[in-house]
Structure 1
Amino acid sequence: MAENQPGADDASIAARTDSYFNRTKAIVTRFGDCRVTYAVFLRRPVVSAPRLAIGWLQAVARERNTRFDIEVMHEEGAWVGAGDPIFYLSGSFAQLVDLETIILQKLGAACVAAHNAYQMCCELPGVAFLAMEARHCAGQEMQEMMAYAASVGGAAAKREGAKGFVGNANDATAHWFGPGRGRGTMPHALIGYAGSTLRAAEMFHATFPDQDLTVLTDYFGREVTDGLEVCRRFPDLAAAGRMAVRLDTHGGRFMEGLDPAESYAVLERHAPQAVRRYRSETELRHLVGTGVSAAAIWRMREALDEAGFPKVRIVASSGFGVQKCRVMAEAKAPLDVVGTGSFIPDAWSETYATADIVDYDGQARVKVGREFLLRHSGGRKRNAG
C-alpha cells in the first residue's frame, strides 16, 4: 500500500491537517529543525492495523525527498493493549509535524474495526465471513479502510483456527482477501423485479450457470417455503453443495412460522442451555426475537434437513456484530456463512488514535501523564524514503 497513496503532496496535506500543525511547521522551519520521535497509540485495546498509515508515510517521505524511521512495536494482526504504542515514528520535526492529523485518521478506525472483526470470527470459528460493509461507508477511503481492517482481523482469527473472512462484496477492495473478485448473488431488488424468489433464482442461474447459487429468501416473508421451492427446482445444485439460502429477515417481523413461543420451542429442541439463564433484552432478541435470530437459523436448518437438503448451506446477514456472533455461538446456530458490515465501529470516539512526541534530538521528553509512552526497545524498524 505504499504505492498510489492519495493526498501525499504538500498542498493536500496542508489543506487537510489541523491549522496549529501547519503553524508549528512554519515556526520550526524559522527557528531551527530537530529530530523527533512520535509514539502513536490508541486509548483502548485493538488489533494492530498500521499498513495504511505506514504506506501513506512512505509516500510522503518520497514526495518530500526525506526519510522517516518507523519502529513497529506490534506487527499487523497482533493484539495491542490500551495506551501501548503501535509504532514509533522518527524524523525531521518540520517534515513530520503537519502529518499527525492524517496519520491518526488512517490508523484509529482501522485498528478498532480489525479488533471487532477478529472477535466476531473467534466467536464463530467454524463460520466463514463475508465483508459487506461498503454501503455503510462514507466514501471510497473509508470503504478501503474497512475492507483492509476486516482482512486483518480475519487473518488474526485464522491463525487461531477460525475460518475468518474469506471475501467481500465488491471488486474494488477484494484484493485485501486474496485473488478474486467481490462475491454475492442477488439483492432484494432482483426478486422484486422477477416477481418471485424462484424466478429470480432461475434468472440468476440462467445468466451465471457456473456459479454457486445463494438465494435471498425473505422478500415475500416466506423464508422456508420459498427456500425449499428453489431447492426443489435445482436439486442437482442442492445435492452438490452448490446452493445456499440467505436469511436477511428484518427486525420488524419474525421469520415464517415463528413467533415468541415457537422460537423458544425451536431452541429447546436444539440449544436449551442458551435460554435457561439470564439474558439481556438484546441477547433475547438475538436468540428468540424478530429478524435473523438463532431460532430462525435453527428452524431453517430443520426445514432443509427434513426436506432432504442437508447439503444446502445457510447464509445469514442483518446486524451481525460481536455481541450477536457471541449469542449465536452460545446457541450453536448452524451457520455456514455470515455476511456483515457490523465490524465498523459503533462508537466512533473509540477510534481516536493519538500521537505524542517522546524524544527531541535524543532527549526523552513527554507531557506529564504520558511517561508510559517513552521509547523502549524490542520493535522492528522499517525505514521510509
Structure 2
Amino acid sequence: MTKGIPTLLDLEGLLTGKYSAVYFQRAADILAQDGKNPHVVMQIFQRNPAIVCGVDHVRELLKHCLTAEQKTKVVLKTLSDGDSVAPWETVMTLEGPYNYFAALESLYLGLLARATRAATNAREIREIVRPGTQLIFMADRYDHYAAQELDGHGVMVGGFNAVCTQSMAHIDQAPALGTISHSLIACYGGDSVEALKAFDRYVDPSVNRIALVDFTNDCVADSLRSARALGKKLWGVRLDTAENMFDETIRKLVADGRVTEEYQRHAGIGIGYGGTGVNPLLVWKVREALDAEGFQHVKIVVSGGFNVERIRIFEKYDVPVDVYGIGSSLYHGRFDYTADIVKVNGQPMAKAGRQYNHNPRLREVSLR
C-alpha cells in the first residue's frame, strides 16, 4: 500500500523558528557568531513503555528544513513507527553539525510525543479486544483539526481498523468511515429510519449502511425498525446512548426489578455494570432482538465514552460488540520525549545523569 506523505503546516514558520523554543534558536545564533558548529550526537528517548510513532513525520521535517548540503552531513538513525520501546531506550539519534538542527528540537520531540501517545493507547485497546473486533477512531472533535493527521496515523500504527476523517486517513490510506449523524435524523423529523432510507438512496453503495439507533432512546425498537427497512443491506446498528440516560429497554428492566436477573442470565454475574449509557445489558438485548427476527448479519457498533477500563469489562463478559468507536480516551497519558547531546566532536559530553546509550535496533534513514 502506498502511504501518504506527512503534511507539514506553515513551512515558512518552521524554517523561521516560529514554533521552536527561543532558546534553541539563540543557542544556534550564539554558536554561529562565535564561529562554532560542533559535530554532535543528539540522543532521543522517553520514559515509558510505548509504541513508537511519528518517525515518518520527523524525517519529513528534516527533509524540509535542512538544505541539500546539510542533508549530506546529518545522519538520522531511528526505530520505526510501530516498534515497542522500553523506558529510557534510545529511540532516535541525530548526528552532525549541531547548528543545522538545533532549532528543530521542539518540533521533532512534539511530533514523536503526540503520535506515540495515540499509537500506544490504541495498541493497548487492540490487545484486549477479541480477534476480529474492529476499532474506529472517532476523535474528530476533541482537539485542533491540525492534529488529525498525526493522531490518525498513530492509531492506525497502534492497530485500529479505520478513522473518521480524510485527514486522519491520509498517511496510511486508511478507510474514513462514518454512520449517520444525529443531526441528519433531526432534519428528518427525528425519524431514524427515514434518515437511514435517505442515506441509502444517495450515498455510494460501497459505503456500509449503519443505522444510528439511540435518537429516541430506544435502541432495540429502532434497531428492529432499521433492519426491517433495509434488510440485508443493513450492515450494522450503532448504539450511542448518552451516559446519563437509561435506554427505554433498560428503564423497563429497572422498573420491573429484573436487571440482576438479566445480567445473571447473560454473564453469570449477579450484578450489572451500570445501567445508563451503552452498557452490556443493552447490547445483549439489541443482539437478542435482531437475532430473533433473523437479522443475525447485522453487526453492533458501540460508541460514547469508551475507554480501556470499560472495554475490558465488555470483553470479559463476551458482550457481542463487533465494532468499538473510540474517541477522547486515546488522548490520555504522557509520552514526552527528551533530547540530549551525548557526544561533542567524538567525545562523551552530556549533562549529569545522561550518557550515550547505544541501541543496536536503530537503523539509518535517508533524508534525501
Which range moves more in the overlay, 80-89 or 142-151? Answer: 80-89
**Which residue in the other structure is 1:89 paired with?**
94
* TM-score between both structures, scaled by the size of structure 1: 0.85
Percent of residue pairs bearing the same amino acid type: 27
**Which residue in the other structure is 1:227 paired with?**
223
How far residue 29 of structure 1 moved from its aligned partner, in angstroms, is: 0.9
**Which residue in the other structure is 1:133 paired with?**
139
How far residue 13 of structure 1 moved from its aligned partner, in angstroms, is: 4.2
| Structure 2 residue matching 1:288: 3-state secondary structure | coil
2:44 equivalent to 1:58:
no
Q: In 2, distance between residues paired with 1:316 and 1:172?
A: 23
**Which residue in the other structure is 1:19 paired with?**
22
**Which residue in the other structure is 1:160 paired with?**
none
How far residue 63 of structure 1 moved from its aligned partner, in angstroms, is: 6.6
Tell me which of 302, 311, 315 is aligned to 1:325. Answer: 311
Aligned amino acid, residue 215 of structure 1: A
Alignment of 1:143-292 (within 5 A): 143-154=148-159, 165-178=160-173, 182-195=176-189, 196-208=191-203, 210=205, 211-237=207-233, 242-259=234-251, 262-272=258-268, 287-292=273-278
2:293 equivalent to 1:307:
yes
- Contact kept? 2:135, 2:161, Cα under 8 Å: yes
**Which residue in the other structure is 1:370 paired with?**
354
Which range moves more in the overlay, 60-69 or 289-298? Answer: 60-69
- Contact kept? 1:267, 1:298, Cα under 8 Å: no
Q: In 2, distance between residues paired with 1:300 and 1:186?
A: 18
Which range moves more in the overlay, 168-177 or 260-269? Answer: 260-269
Distance 1:235-1:45 versus aligned 2 partners, 3 A rule: same
Q: In 1, distance between residues paired with 2:295 and 2:210?
A: 14
Q: In 2, distance between residues paired with 1:308 and 1:293?
A: 23
Q: In 2, distance between residues paired with 1:146 and 1:177?
A: 11
2:42 equivalent to 1:38:
yes
**Which residue in the other structure is 1:69 paired with?**
75
Aligned amino acid, residue 184 of structure 2: L
Q: In 2, distance between residues paired with 1:10 and 1:92?
A: 22
Q: In 2, distance between residues paired with 1:251 and 1:4?
A: 36
How far residue 297 of structure 1 moved from its aligned partner, in angstroms, is: 1.4
Residue deviations 1:229-252 (CA, integer Å, cap 9, x gap): 111122232xxxx42110000111
The gaps in structure 2 that reach 5 residues or longer are: none
- Contact kept? 2:90, 2:357, Cα under 8 Å: no
Aligned residue pairs total 355
- Contact kept? 2:150, 2:168, Cα under 8 Å: no
**Which residue in the other structure is 1:361 paired with?**
345
Distance 1:351-1:289 versus aligned 2 partners, 3 A rule: farther
Q: In 2, distance between residues paired with 1:129 and 1:376?
A: 33
How far residue 90 of structure 1 moved from its aligned partner, in angstroms, is: 1.1
Q: In 1, distance between residues paired with 2:285 and 2:9?
A: 49
How far residue 177 of structure 1 moved from its aligned partner, in angstroms, is: 4.1
| Structure 2 residue matching 1:310: 3-state secondary structure | coil
Distance 1:4-1:244 versus aligned 2 partners, 3 A rule: closer
Q: In 2, distance between residues paired with 1:3 and 1:225?
A: 45
**Which residue in the other structure is 1:280 paired with?**
none
Aligned amino acid, residue 137 of structure 1: D
Q: In 1, distance between residues paired with 2:181 and 2:341?
A: 49
Aligned amino acid, residue 380 of structure 1: R
Distance 1:351-1:204 versus aligned 2 partners, 3 A rule: same
* TM-score between both structures, scaled by the size of structure 2: 0.89
Q: In 1, distance between residues paired with 2:266 and 2:91?
A: 44
How far residue 342 of structure 1 moved from its aligned partner, in angstroms, is: 3.4
What is the RMSD of the two structures over their aligned residues, measured on CA atoms? 2.2
Residue deviations 1:87-135 (CA, integer Å, cap 9, x gap): 1111211112111111111110110110110111111133111121121
How far residue 288 of structure 1 moved from its aligned partner, in angstroms, is: 3.0
Q: In 2, distance between residues paired with 1:45 and 1:363?
A: 30
**Which residue in the other structure is 1:113 paired with?**
118
Distance 1:56-1:270 versus aligned 2 partners, 3 A rule: same
Residue deviations 1:65-93 (CA, integer Å, cap 9, x gap): 43421111x32211111221211111211
How far residue 179 of structure 1 moved from its aligned partner, in angstroms, is: 5.9
